[in-house]
Structure 1
Amino acid sequence: MRLKARLERDWRFMRGLNRTLKRVKTIAPSSPSLICDDLQAAVETWRDNPALTFEGKTLTYGEMDAVANRFAHWAKGMNIRRGQVVALFLPNRLEYFPIWYGLSKIGVVTALINNQLAGLPLAHCLNISGAAHVIVDGETSPVFEQAKTLLERPMQQWVLGQAHGDQRDLAQALKSCSQLPPDRSVREGMTAKDTALYIYTSGTTGLPKAARITHVRAQLYMRAFAGATGATAKDRIYVALPLYHATGGLCGLGAALLNGGSAVVKKKFSASHFWSDVVAEGCTMFVYIGELCRYLVNHPEAEDERSHKIRLAFGNGLRGDVWAEMKARFRIPEILEFYGSTEGNVSLFNFDGKVGAIGRAPKWLRNKFSVRLVQFNVETEEPVRGLNGLCIECGPGQVGECIGQIGGDARTAYTGYVDKAASEKKILHDVFERGDAWFRTGDLMRMDADGYFYFVDRIGDTFRWKGENVSTNEVAERLAAVPGVTEANVYGVTVEGADGRAGMAGLVVEPSFDIKQFGEQVVRDLPPYAQPVFVRILPAIETTGTFKHRKMDLVADGFDPGKIKGVIFWRDPVKGYVKLTKPAFEKLSAGGVKL
C-alpha cells in the first residue's frame, strides 16, 4: 500500500512537472517574442471568449485587446518611448491588466505601485521607478497629491476619472486613440531580456525594492501557471489578490488568459463575500496567499462554501494546519502550493498535494533543479562555510537557506532589482566551487528524504534563545491552533542581560480566550526555548497588501507596558503567564529576573 501511494504521488508530480515544462521550454532571453506576443496570440485564438470580469462588467479577449491598444497609442502619442517607465498607482479594476499589457506592446515599462502605500513609502517607490507619468483614479489621486512634495522630480498625473488642477483626464485622452494594435516595428530589436514591469517587494523589513521583471520572466510566470494548473478555456479563475503583485497579477491571470479562460477580478478580498461571489460567477479555481485561506477558515460557516464548482486552489504560503481544514471544510478537490520570489530564480511546485510542503525536487531529478539548501548560522545571518571556504549543503531534515544557481537560461537567470547594490547583496559567491554564483532567497527551509521542501522562516525572523534557533513561523502555527486564538504573529525582542532574543507573540483572540489554558497548551506543544516569554493582545495584525504579517513596528515596541496599548502578559518562572506590570517591566529591564 505504501509503494502504491508513493507511485501515485510520483505520477502526479511528473504529470504536473511535464505540463509546466511543456509551456516554458521554448522561452529564451534572446528571443524577440515578448509577453505581449504571448497575450496577442491568446487574443487571436479566443477573441470572442470572456477574458476579464470586474464588478459586473466583462471584457472579451478582443475588447481587452482594444483597451490595451488605446493605452499603447496614448503613450506613443505622449512620446513615451520604449525603455521609459509609466507608474501605475491604481486599485484592482477592469483596466489594470490591459494598461500594462498595452504599454508592453510599445516597449514601455510599467511600475506596478502598491495602491495601499502613502506618504514616504509611496514617494520612494515612485522615485526609484524613474517614471515621468503616473496613472491614478479617484481613489488614489488624493493619496498621490499628499505625497507630491516628497517626489524628487515632477510627475504628470493622469486620472481615470475627473481631473483637477494640473491633472490630466486620461479617460478623455483615450477616446481619440486607436483600438488597433500598434505597429510591431515600434519594438523592433527588443528581446525577452528587456524589462517589462517593475514589481515591488512588500516592504516588511524596510522600504520596498523594485524588482526588474523582464519579458522572459513575465512569460515564465504566466506560462508556468497556464501549464501547472491544467486550466482550460472553460475555467473561470477568481482573483481577489492585488494585481500589483506577481501571484495575482501574473500567476493568476496567466493561468486564465493563456488558456482561453477568464479571470474574475475583485477589488479586494472579502471573507464574507468570497464563497457567494465564487458561486455566483461560476468560478472553477481561485488563487490564494496563505493568510487569505486562514481568514476563510476562521470565518463563520457560509451558505455557499460547499456549493461551488472549485476544482483547484493554487497559491503560496498555506500553512499545514489551515491546508487540511480548508480542503475538508470547503470540499476543494485539489490544492497546488508553490514557492517563488518576485526577484529571484527559485521556483518550486507541490504537484502531488503533500500537506505542508511548498514544493518538491526528488533525488532522481536532482540535476533538473538548480535549487539547494545550505547550512546557515542564524546569529551571523550568513551561510556556514567549511575549512575549504565553500558552503555546506544540508542533509535531509536540516534547516538551511534556500539558494538557486544563477545561469544564462530563462529559468536560472537572475535579473534582481533596479538598485544594483541591492541586487548584488542577494548573490552568494563561491558556494560549491570557486566562481559559481547563487541567488539567496532569504528563506530558511528543510527538505525531507523524498525531496519535499518545507518553509521554516524568513532570515531575520528566526532568532536565537537559550542557545536554540526559534522559527517564528512554526511557533505561530502552533499558537494559532490554541483555542481562542484567531491569529498569531511571533517575533523576538531584546531583554537586558539575556543572551539572544526572547520570544513574543502578538495574538488576535476571541472573547473565549483564556491565558491560563493558553499557557498550559504552550507548555504541552512547544519546547521550553520556543515558548513565548511575552504575549501581547492585539486588536488586529497589520499585514502588507499581500497578507504578509508586519513585524518591524511590533519589534520596535518591545514589551514596555507604558508604551503599548492593550494587555501584555509575561511568563513568570513560578506563576506562568501573568499581566506585565510596570514594576515587573522595570525588574526585567534591569536584568533582575532570570528568564
Structure 2
Amino acid sequence: MPPSRQEVLYGAAGTVGGAIAVWRTLFPWIGDDFTTMLGTKKIGDKMNPDLANEVYLIDRFEEHVKQHPKKVFLYFEDREYSYEIVNAMADKIANIVLSLNLTPGDTVAAMIQNEPSFVWTLLGLQKIGMVDAFINYHLTAEPLLHSIRTSNAKVIIVGSGDGLFESIEEIRHNLSDNIPIYVQGRLPYVLPPGYHSLDNVMEKTLPLPVSKNLRSHVTMMSPVCYIYTSGTTGLPKPAICNQAKAIGSSKIWASFDFNANDVSYAVTPLYHSGATTLCLFNTIAVGCSMVLRRKFSARHYWDDCRKYKVTVVHYIGELFRYILKVPESPLDGVHNIRIAMGNGLRLDIWKKFQDRFKIPVIVEHFGATEGTSLTINLTNKVGAIGRISPLMRLASKYKLSVQVRVIRFDRIKEEPIRGKDGFCIDCGAGEEGLIISAVPDTTTEFYVGSKSINEKKFLRDVFVKGDAYFNFGDIVFVDKDYYLYFRDRLGDTFRWKSENVSTREVAEVLSTLSFIQDVNVYGVEVPDNDGRAGMAAILLKDHSTITPEVLQQIYRKCAKSLPKYARPIFLRFQTNFEVTQTMKHRKVDLVKEGYNPDILSDPVYCVDVKNKTYSPLESASYHQVIKSRL
C-alpha cells in the first residue's frame, strides 16, 4: 500500500531532522516551525480522541471527581473547594433546573462574578445538556436587556455581587413576565414577585447525581455556552461555544505540557473566553487545581501566586502593565510559575515583565471567541502572536498545522485583494494583511442571530471555489522569519481595558440626547496604556452650545447606559462632519489628530469622574490631566 500524504510529510520532517544543520542554514526559521508544529500536534493528540469518542468536557470533570474527589479544584478567598464539593453543588443546580420543566437544550442566563458558583452553575447545566449564557456583569440598561433577550434564556441566575440585582431590577419590566429569576446571596430585603432566593432553594435541594441520559441529546455541535462579543458592529452578540470547540479549547495548553500537577490562576472575568475556555476548561481537562480571584489586584497578584504555588498564569496584556507599576520587591522573582499564557501583551513591556519577574516562558496567542482556530507563540519570541511559514501553510493542508492564513488586504476599500483568478493572495515575509482561519463544513454560524449577522464573518471562495474562512477583522504583520505581530483592528471596534468597545453602541447611546445631531466614535492611543481610549466627535444641533449642563448630561447618559470601559474618555465638538462616498463617518484623520489641544482647533474635553462631567483639556497641562483621570 503506498504511503499516505501525511506519512510522506512526516517522513520529510524526519529527513529534515536528520540534516537539521543544513536546513537551518538554508531556512533559519525551520527550527521554530518544528517547535510550533510539535506543540500544535500535542493539542491534536489530546483533542482528537475526545472528539472521536464524544467525550465531553463534563465527562472529563466527572471522571476527575471519581478519580480524586478530595483534590482541590478551586482556591477562592482562603477556601478550598474540592472536586467532590463542586460536583455536589453542580448536582444541586442540575436538579433545580430540572424541576423547572425546561426543554432539553434550553438556555439559562447567568450574571455571576468570579466566584465558585459561576463554575458549578456552568457544570450543573452541562450535566443536563443546558446552555449557559455568560452575561457580562458590568452591563446595565439596554445592553444588559439586549444580552438576555438574544440568548433566548428561559431562566436568569443573578450572582451575589454588588449592584447585580439592581441592574436586573432596572430592566425587569422589559423582560417576559413568566421568566424566573434566581438571586444568589443573603439578601437584606424581601424579593419582589418573580424573584427567588437561589441560596434558599440550594439548601433544600439534595445533591443527587443526575443520569447521563439527561444529556443524551447533546452532540458535538450543541452549545456549551454563549460568550458575548462586540463583534464588529452593534450591541453584544452571543458567540456560540459548542461542545467541539470546548474540547478543542480545553487542549490548547497541552502545547506546553499542562498537566494534573499544575496550578492555574484566573483573575480576568469568567464571562470572557480567555478565563473560561482557556484557564478553566484546560484545568478541567487535566484535573488540576485553579486559583480564582473575584477581581484582579496587582498588589496581591504575587502573594496569591506564591501562596498557592501557581505554575501557569493566564493574562491579558493590560494586567502585566498594572503589575509592573507595583514597587519592586526582593520577592519579585520568587514563585513557581513556569508559563504565562494569554494575549495582548505589548512589545514595550514584554521583556520588562519577563526579566523583572523571571518568567521562563511567555506563550502569546491570537484568536477570537467565535473564531475557528488560533495562532500560538511557543518559542518565546518577544512580541509575536504566533507564526505561519510556507512549511506551516503546506502542513495546514494536511491538518498537521493550524489552518490560519494571512492575506493581502485593501484598507481603502476594506476588502481582500484578489488576483486575476479571483482568489485571495497569501502575504509573504515583510507584508501585513488580514488574518483568517478555515471554517469546517459543519460550521454554519458563529453567533446566535440572523443569517446576515453570521455571514459578515465569512470569507468565501478564498483560495478555491467553495471554500470558507473566518474573518477575524484584524491586521497582522509577517516578519522575515514568518512570525506574526498584531497591528490593528478593523471595523467599528476598538479595545480598551481588555474589553471590545463597539463604536456603534456608544454612538447610539449618545445620539439619544436631544441636543446631539451626529456622533462619530473611535479609539485613540494614550501613552502607557494598552488598547485605545474612547473618543467621541460630536456635532451639536443648531442653536445648541457647549454648556456645563450639556457636558453633565453627556456624562450622566454614559454612566447610566454604558459599561465603564465603553464610556468615552474624550469629547471633541465639531462644526461639521466628513463622510465617505458610502456615507460612513471618516475616522482615519480623527484618530491621527487625537486629543491634543495644541493641535486641534475644536474644543476638546476629558472625562472628570470626580465632578461627574467632562472638563476642558488645556494645552498647558493636558498630559497631567489625562494621567490623573485614566
Name 1:522's counterpart in structure 2. none
Distance 1:43 1:228, change over 3 A: farther
Query: What is the CA-CA distance between 1:426 and the residue it aligns to?
Result: 0.6
Q: Structure 2 CA distance, aligned partners of 1:44 and 1:570?
A: 56
1:11-160 to structure 2, matched below 5 A, reads: 12-28=35-51, 32-138=54-160, 139=162, 140-151=164-175, 154-160=178-184
Q: Structure 2 CA distance, aligned partners of 1:237 and 1:158?
A: 30
Q: Which amino acid aligns with 1:416?
A: F
Q: Structure 1 CA distance, aligned partners of 2:409 and 2:531?
A: 26
Q: Structure 1 CA distance, aligned partners of 2:416 and 2:591?
A: 33
> In structure 1, which of residues 370, 374, 381 is the aligned counterpart of residue 403 of structure 2?
370
Q: Which amino acid aligns with 1:386?
A: G
8 Å CA contact retained: 2:386, 2:484:
yes
**The 10-residue stretch of structure 1 (153-162 or 141-150) with the greater mean CA deviation from structure 2:** 153-162
Q: Structure 1 CA distance, aligned partners of 2:66 and 2:353?
A: 38
Name 1:558's counterpart in structure 2. 572
- Structure 2 gaps, min length 5: 1-20, 397-401, 495-521, 540-558, 576-589, 606-630
> Could you report, residue by residue, the CA deviation over 1:64-120 in whole angstroms, capped at 9, with x for unpaired residues?
111111111111112123211111011111111111111111111110101111111
Distance 1:584 1:493, change over 3 A: closer
Query: What is the CA-CA distance between 1:211 and the residue it aligns to?
Result: 0.5
Name 1:390's counterpart in structure 2. 423
> Could you report, residue by residue, the CA deviation over 1:193-223 in whole angstroms, capped at 9, with x for unpaired residues?
1111111004785311100111111111112
Distance 1:25 1:10, change over 3 A: same
Name 1:243's counterpart in structure 2. 270
Query: What is the CA-CA distance between 1:60 and the residue it aligns to?
Result: 1.0
Query: What is the CA-CA distance between 1:26 and the residue it aligns to?
Result: 2.4
**TM-score, scaled relative to structure 1:** 0.77
Whether 1:445 and 2:476 are equivalent positions in the alignment is yes
Name 2:598's counterpart in structure 1. 578
Query: What is the CA-CA distance between 1:267 and the residue it aligns to?
Result: 0.4
Q: Structure 1 CA distance, aligned partners of 2:102 and 2:203?
A: 18
8 Å CA contact retained: 2:139, 2:563:
no
1:112-261 to structure 2, matched below 5 A, reads: 112-138=134-160, 139=162, 140-151=164-175, 154-161=178-185, 162=187, 164-166=191-193, 167-202=195-230, 205-225=233-253, 227-261=254-288
Name 1:402's counterpart in structure 2. 435
Query: What is the CA-CA distance between 1:5 and the residue it aligns to?
Result: 8.2
> Could you report, residue by residue, the CA deviation over 1:361-411 in whole angstroms, capped at 9, with x for unpaired residues?
3322323232111221222222123344332322222221111121237xx
8 Å CA contact retained: 2:122, 2:132:
yes
Name 1:502's counterpart in structure 2. none
Query: What is the CA-CA distance between 1:347 and the residue it aligns to?
Result: 0.9
Name 1:515's counterpart in structure 2. none
8 Å CA contact retained: 2:233, 2:492:
no
Identity %: 32
8 Å CA contact retained: 2:230, 2:493:
no
> Could you report, residue by residue, the CA deviation over 1:544-579 in whole angstroms, capped at 9, with x for unpaired residues?
x999x75x8468x33669xxxxxxx9999xxx9837
Q: Structure 1 CA distance, aligned partners of 2:536 and 2:140?
A: 28
Q: Structure 2 CA distance, aligned partners of 1:436 and 1:231?
A: 34
Distance 1:559 1:19, change over 3 A: farther
**The 10-residue stretch of structure 1 (308-317 or 182-191) with the greater mean CA deviation from structure 2:** 182-191
Distance 1:461 1:354, change over 3 A: farther
Distance 1:449 1:495, change over 3 A: farther
Q: Structure 2 CA distance, aligned partners of 1:584 and 1:150?
A: 37
Q: Structure 2 CA distance, aligned partners of 1:24 and 1:408?
A: 18
> Could you report, residue by residue, the CA deviation over 1:427-483 in whole angstroms, capped at 9, with x for unpaired residues?
1112122222111111111223433221111113799xxxxxxxx99x95xx74xxx
8 Å CA contact retained: 2:372, 2:437:
yes
Q: Structure 1 CA distance, aligned partners of 2:602 and 2:192?
A: 53
Q: Structure 2 CA distance, aligned partners of 1:115 and 1:450?
A: 42
8 Å CA contact retained: 1:202, 1:546:
no
8 Å CA contact retained: 2:535, 2:568:
no
8 Å CA contact retained: 1:443, 1:459:
yes
8 Å CA contact retained: 1:240, 1:265:
yes
Whether 1:418 and 2:440 are equivalent positions in the alignment is no
Q: Which amino acid aligns with 1:72?
A: A
Q: Structure 2 CA distance, aligned partners of 1:72 and 1:584?
A: 53
Q: Structure 2 CA distance, aligned partners of 1:353 and 1:570?
A: 32
**The 10-residue stretch of structure 1 (297-306 or 212-221) with the greater mean CA deviation from structure 2:** 297-306
Distance 1:488 1:245, change over 3 A: closer
Q: Which amino acid aligns with 2:125?
A: L
Q: Structure 2 CA distance, aligned partners of 1:570 and 1:180?
A: 58
- SS of the aligned residue for 1:175 comes to helix
Distance 1:279 1:546, change over 3 A: farther
- SS of the aligned residue for 2:298 comes to coil
Distance 1:22 1:143, change over 3 A: same
Distance 1:321 1:180, change over 3 A: same
Name 1:566's counterpart in structure 2. none
Whether 1:342 and 2:364 are equivalent positions in the alignment is no
8 Å CA contact retained: 2:385, 2:484:
yes
What RMSD over aligned residues (CA atoms) do the two structures have, in Å? 3.4
> In structure 2, which of residues 474, 483, 488 is the aligned counterpart of residue 457 of structure 1?
488
8 Å CA contact retained: 1:81, 1:107:
no
Q: Structure 1 CA distance, aligned partners of 2:246 and 2:42?
A: 18
> In structure 2, which of residues 401, 410, 413 is the aligned counterpart of residue 380 of structure 1?
413
Distance 1:416 1:546, change over 3 A: farther
Distance 1:492 1:437, change over 3 A: farther
**The 10-residue stretch of structure 1 (48-57 or 384-393) with the greater mean CA deviation from structure 2:** 384-393
Distance 1:559 1:453, change over 3 A: farther
- SS of the aligned residue for 1:456 comes to strand
8 Å CA contact retained: 2:537, 2:574:
no
8 Å CA contact retained: 2:232, 2:491:
no
- SS of the aligned residue for 1:272 comes to coil
Name 1:435's counterpart in structure 2. 466
Q: Structure 1 CA distance, aligned partners of 2:478 and 2:229?
A: 26
Q: Structure 2 CA distance, aligned partners of 1:560 and 1:81?
A: 53
Query: What is the CA-CA distance between 1:488 and the residue it aligns to?
Result: 6.8
Query: What is the CA-CA distance between 1:157 and the residue it aligns to?
Result: 1.2
Distance 1:174 1:584, change over 3 A: closer
Q: How many residues align structurally?
A: 505
8 Å CA contact retained: 2:404, 2:437:
yes
**TM-score, scaled relative to structure 2:** 0.73
Distance 1:495 1:295, change over 3 A: same
